[in-house]
Amino acid sequence: MTSSGRIHRRHELRGGSLTTSDGPPLICHAIPAVRKDQSIGPTADRGLIVPIQVLVVDDHEIVRKGVRFLLSDETQYHICGEAENGIGAIEKILELSPDVVVLDLIPPLMSGYETAARIRKISPLTKIIFFSVHEIPTSAQMLGADAFVPKSHLAEELASTIRSVVQSPSA
């Protein structure tokens, strides 16, 4: 999406070269070759590469900005929105229909677990990735989430974790 709010649809050519429906060819180094019958994001269709829409939920603005920065060079991801807490996350889910929610385990007003359970009810196909500075949740605590990334490993693991959960089949 451009700063003017217009969405550019892209077609993969070969070797990282893309064309947009309303502009000249672009050279992208981050997007792997995609066949017509494959997709990167759940919204990809007939060879069109549509960025994975990501909602970031954390009560600290600096963390939300950090996640945005980490994914800014990755053309296959688009931060479609941010929320400070679980209630804001639910509102954004209804408004934006993101493909993935990167959700702090301990946001204010509603726990990450309760937020995840509500997200599952209103948007069952949305993938949920918990992240936290606290201990890694046990498998019982992971109910409602597709993955966990420690905040200390976001730079190394977030993009690949998003890609992994989007490509995994829905439960």
For the stretch 108-157, pLDDT in tens is 888 888 999 999 999 999 999 999 887 666 664 566 789 999 999 999 99
How many Å apart are CA 20 and CA 18, to the nearest integer?
Answer: 7
What's the whole-model pTM score?
0.70
How many Å apart are CA 13 and CA 33, to the nearest integer?
Answer: 8
Query: What are the angstrom distances between the C-alpha of 30 and each of 26, 159, 163?
Result: 12, 11, 13
Fill in the amino acid letter for 23. G
Phi, psi of 168 (to 5 degrees): -80, 150
Task: Break the chain into its structural domains and give their ranges.
Answer: 10-48, 51-167
Q: What percent of the chain has a predicted confidence (pLDDT) above 70?
A: 65
Span 46-71, mean pLDDT?
Answer: 89
| Bigger pLDDT: 66 vs 31 | 66
pLDDT of 25 reads: 42
- Can you list the positions of beta strands (E) in the chain? 10-14, 17-20, 23-27, 48-49, 52-57, 77-83, 100-104, 127-132, 147-150
Task: Report the topology of domain 51-167.
Answer: Rossmann fold (3.40.50)
| Bigger pLDDT: 69 vs 12 | 69
